[in-house]
Structure 1
Amino acid sequence: MITPVILAGGNGSRLWPLSRQLRPKQFLSLFGEASMLQESLQRLIGLRCRPPIVICNEEHRFLVADQLRQANIGDACIILEPEGRNTAPAIALAALRAMEDNPESVLLVLAADHLIEDVAEFHKSIESARLLAVQGELVTFGIVADHAETGYGYIQRGPTDNEGGYRVKRFVEKPDKATAEDYLATGDYYWNSGMFMFQAQCYLDELESFEPEIVHACRAAIKGARRDLDFVRLDQEAFKRCPGNSIDYAVMERTQRACMVPLDAGWSDVGSWSALWQIGEQDNWGNVTHGDAMYHESHNLLVHSENRLVAAVGVDDLVIVETKDAVLVAHKDHVQDVKKIVEQLKRENRSEFMNHREVYRPWGVYDCIDHGERYQVKRITVKPGAKLSVQMHHHRSEHWVVVSGSAQVTVADKTYLVSENESTYIPIGQVHALENPGKIPLELIEVQSGSYLGEDDIVRLDDRYGRCQ
């Protein structure tokens, strides 16, 4: 059986303002109700698979756990990376973990943020790759190129191998336009998908021969790991000693075992807004719309509106993205440079780099709907049965008004219910907690007032989600 490994790190900065540091593109629903992570897992239905291993950043752990529960996947292993070290160590961690259950594990390594339209063809390529993997080959999937793309690396195929694959002749970096056109004309070059299949032990053997420090650090990190709720927490000090490297540089470009299986299944890594326009449903004027939009004498636009009407008049070839706290306008030829805006937001320590106005927590979500110098107003949604941490604040008081559902409130040594259209008050410095004891979401308005309103003024005394220091 196959062990799927889902790489769910990365921040997808070129899809800002939808993709943010704390809610990157793999956790967004870009093509329907399911997120890209959930779609990656749903594509495995029909294959004989063991429970998946998901590798993610520490700060995304509750997003991953929540989305897996929504997808009815309760047996996944979620490994938390305390710091990113690129794909070679991440896959080594998965290989070591998989071999604890089955020493002969065959890994199918997938990214959480890819689009694949033809699932049946995807499964055929996986079966071809599996037959090669059990023979000790390290298989990568080469995407059949249909245009001269400069945003991807390429794989040049060598002689035909068994089971519908090819030996890999070489990997090449992202080319310029002329070189990409030459690659396309030969028919020997494929886009590098970043998806792989191999036996866990074969991968570790090759990685150890080229980069032994990575394997040694990962072994120590796994050996010292501990369970925490839904997660596997690595030995942080051991993993921090691990060198960073990609699987391409560390193994695939150096091994003699590299094979490639072609994949022609409507693949995209959704790496930019122009990619979303290309795969979107275009109207008669070439416009792709998500949300509320109107056009006049405008062509080849991508408009993504989340909250308001967007009207475009007399413009062509633009990307326009509207969220609650940001608007992006970019020419489709320059969407790769959206990351430059993200870099500037990070340098200036602006909140639009880190998070949306709506902020997701393991207990639910809050939306900061208004703020001033000494006040802040939030709309808070608490999931049924969920509870915020027992906490206190040094610099602010809070008023809570319940607008839907019922709240169980604890202030100091008193616990009481607050129903719809009722309110309560939390003084500065008072230990308190909020819980939803009902079966429907709890909606309330919180008005904070005080000299400092930052999230770091939360002193957690007890927390069911393990967030106390």
Structure 2
Amino acid sequence: MTQINPVILCGGVGTRLWPLSRQHQPKQFQPINSEGTTFFQATVQRHGGRLFGKPVVLVNERHLPTVTRQLRTIMTDAMIIGEPVSRNTGPALLAAALYLYEQDPDAVLLALPSDHVIDGNLEPSIASALSAVQDGLIVTFGIAPRYPESGYGYIIDGGPYIGYDGVRKAARFVEKPAAEIAEALIEEGGAFWASGISLFRADTLIAEYSRIVPKTLLAVKEAKRLAEVTASGIILEAEAFSRSRNDSTESTIFEKTDLMALFPADVQWDDVGAWSAFHTIGAKDDSGNVSSGDVILLDTQNSYVRGGNKLIAVVGLNDVIVVDTPDALLVTSRSASQKVKKVVEMLAQTSRPEIIDHRWLNTDWGRVGTISEGGGYSIKQLVLNAGGTVLFDSSSTQRSLLTVAEGVAQVESEAGRRVLGVGATFEVGPQVRAILSNVGTTALQVIEVTCEIESRETTEPAQTGAAFDAMAVGKKLGQYA
């Protein structure tokens, strides 16, 4: 039987799910609940049966370490294609099609958003649609709508596709209609939510790009030809990839091709595009509330409360959403949850850091979090996994004092090698390189206090803040690796 290649799209940011989703740590890499499996990991695991081959992951280049780490956690190997710039789903899927066609001219792709929640088994629908796809059709999977959602796209059923059991004609697409139009579509019947999941042959997509947008095909081919080869895949060449059309596969190809078909899938689906969706899909208590973390709810109904690292008490409120993170708290009504995107736009106008990163960052060696920071200083907590190693490479204007709070540390520098227990301290002075390792069997916790000192060349204070950037190691004041 033909093996289907799951192609997982990880390029989005999910601004409507702020403060959970950030530019450097977007929604798909966050846990579905307060902890545990992420959206991306759940998507990979959902398509790991015998019907499927090795997954292909399409991801922004800056998130390559995150994808690699999360794949390792679920013990899954994948081919990773790094996108040097964001060009929407169209060029990304085309790059995957070109790569897979080179491996197998008969390759079949299953395009999968990485940030959706599915309850039920999608495999029977995929298997049933395969014969139509092998004959050259493009099949997209529709979901029977449960309510008139204006935040989703719709596909209109055009009647049966003769010769293929269960496959329907896709008469037209309706992109995120107003609420009254969505309601009318559902009342008329034959309208399905567009799940964003589609099945097609690699050569079919390539041929349609050649016919409809040939310049994008040439640009992506060039980006692939000049791609940087890595241990886990390739990184497309930036200049060529930037010349491709910045648009989705749906608007570029699916809405213009004569090969489009629809397959109604019998699953519960949600794209979790706004916080109200977490309430919809969550397990509710007797008052209709969905909560996680350290939460107390009193005289509160039909609400979603996602706790962080502190106790949250909600009293006498209905239909609200509360989301707590270490550096930001969101409170909104369920009906206004789509407007969170406007908050992100306001934060961007004032260059607020809360839209970029979380205060806690995950790394290959563990995680690091900011406890406090201000003019000329920062206090951070480092948690190293057993065997984890961190490189400190301080600037000429930085001095750090580190204290072991838990575990056993080893420090190597020009001064030699030391093993340190709980309560021991060590200093990393200006222009000093030091390697910190966890040589114990449990997590190592270290508190780092970093201060800026005046440069010998100037009385101007140096830029403040610690050295850590989990996505781009060692930008200004030091380096963790």
TM-score (structure 2 length as normaliser)? 0.91
Whole-angstrom distance in 2 between the partners of 1:98 and 1:389: 38
1:85-124: CA deviation from partner (whole Å, max 9, x where unpaired): 00110001111111222121100110110101102xx111
| Equivalent position amino acid for 1:330 in 2 | T
What is the deviation of 1:346?
Answer: 1.6
Matches within 5 A, 1:42-81: 42-74=45-77, 76-81=78-83
Structure 2 counterpart of 1:256, which letter? Answer: D
Question: Residue deviations 1:334-362, cap 9 Å, x none?
Answer: 10000111111122111111111102233
Aligned AA (1:363): W
1:464 CA displacement: 10
Equivalent position SS for 1:388: strand
Classify the secondary structure of the residue corresponding to 1:327.
Answer: strand
The C-alpha deviation readout for 1:360-402, integer Å capped at 9, x for no partner, is 2333210111223222111101233333346232321111112
Deviation at 1:174, TM superposition (A): 1.3
Q: Distance in 2 between matches of 1:389 and 1:460?
A: 14
Letter in 2 for 1:370: S
1:173 maps to a residue whose letter is E
CA distance in 2, matches of 1:34, 1:296: 29
Q: Are positions 1:366 and 2:389 aligned together?
A: no
2:464 corresponds to = 453
Q: Counterpart of 1:67 in structure 2: which amino acid?
A: Q
Q: What is the aligned partner in structure 2 of residue 118 from structure 1?
A: 120
Report deviation, 1:290.
Answer: 1.1
Alignment of 1:368-383 (within 5 A): 368-383=370-385
TM-superposed deviation, 1:423: 1.6
Contact persistence 1:392–1:459 (CA under 8 A): no
Partner residue in 2 for 1:320: 322
Q: State the AA in 2 paired with 1:351.
A: P
Could you say which residue in structure 1 is the equivalent of 2:152?
152
Alignment of 1:11-160 (within 5 A): 11-31=13-33, 33-74=36-77, 76-119=78-121, 122-160=122-160
Q: Is the 8 A contact 1:389 1:460 kept in 2?
A: no
Letter aligned with residue 427 of structure 1: G
Deviation string 1:150-192 (CA, Å, 9 cap, x unpaired) is: 1111111112011311111111121122211111112211111
Amino acid at match of 1:137: L
2:10 maps to which of 8, 11, 21: 8
**Partner residue, 2:387:** 385
Deviates more, 1:347-356 or 1:229-238: 229-238
Q: Using a 3 Å threshold, how does the CA distance of structure 1 residues 462 and 220 change in structure 2: closer, same or farther?
A: farther
The number of residues matched between the two structures is: 462
Does structure 2 retain, via aligned residues, the 8 Å contact 1:204–1:215?
A: yes
CA contact (8 A) 1:390 1:460 kept: no
TM alignment of 1:413-424, pairs within 5 A: 414-424=416-426
Distance 2:155 2:182 in 1: 12
Q: Does the Cα contact within 8 Å between 2:9 and 2:113 map onto a contact in 1?
A: yes
Match of 2:168 in 1: 166
8 Å Cα contact 2:373-2:465 kept in structure 1:
no
1:264 and 1:394 map into 2 onto residues whose CA distance is 62
Please list the CA deviations of residues 189-235 of structure 1 after superposition, one character each: whole Å capped at 9, or x if unmatched. Answer: 11111111000011110012111111111111111112234342112
Query: Where in structure 1 are there 5+ consecutive unaligned residues?
Result: none
**CA positional deviation for 1:455:** 5.0
State the secondary structure of the residue aligned to 2:426: strand
- Given candidates 291, 294, 297, the residue that maps to 2:296 is 294
| SS of residue matched to 1:23 | coil
Equivalent-residue separation in structure 2 for 1:258 and 1:183 (angstroms): 20
* Secondary structure at the counterpart of residue 389 of structure 2: coil
Seen in structure 2, the aligned counterparts of structure 1 residues 459 and 168 have a Cα distance that, compared at 3 Å, is closer
- The root-mean-square deviation of aligned C-alpha atoms, in Å, is 2.1
Alpha carbons 2:9, 2:111 under 8 Å: kept: yes
SS state at 1:435 partner: strand
* Structure 1: distance between partners of 2:36 and 2:409: 29
Which residue identity lines up with residue 157 of structure 2 in the other structure?
Answer: R
What one-letter code is carried by the residue in structure 2 that aligns with 1:59?
R
Q: Is 444-453 or 84-93 further displaced after alignment?
A: 444-453
Query: When the two structures are superposed, what TM-score results if normalisation uses the length of structure 1?
Result: 0.94
On the 8 A contact 1:305/1:322 being kept in 2, the answer is: yes
Higher mean C-alpha displacement, 454-463 vs 95-104: 454-463
- Write the distance in 2 (CA, Å) between the matches of 1:340 and 1:87: 23
Asked if the contact 1:397–1:428 (Cα under 8 Å) also holds between the matched residues in 2, the reply is yes
Could you say if the C-alpha distance between residues 377 and 175 of structure 1 is closer, same or farther in structure 2, counting changes exceeding 3 Å?
A: same
Residue identity matched to 2:123: H
Contact 2:394 2:429 in 1 (8 A): no
Shifted more, 416-425 versus 55-64: the winner is: 416-425
Q: 2:207 aligns with which of 189, 192, 205?
A: 205
Which residue matches 1:428?
A: 430
- 1:8 counterpart letter in structure 2: C
CA shift, 1:437, in A, is: 4.3
Deviations along 1:233-262, whole A, 9 cap, x unmatched? 112222122221110111000100000111
* Structure 2 SS opposite 1:146: coil
* Amino acid in structure 2 at the alignment position of 1:70: T
The percent identity for this pair of structures is 35
What letter corresponds to residue 159 of structure 1 in structure 2?
G
Deviations 1:283-311 (A, max 9, x none): 22221111122223222111111112222
Using the TM superposition, give the Cα deviation of residue 332 of structure 1 relative to its aligned residue in structure 2, in angstroms: 0.9
3-state DSSP class of the match of 2:284?
Answer: coil
Is the partner of 2:165 in helix, strand or coil? helix
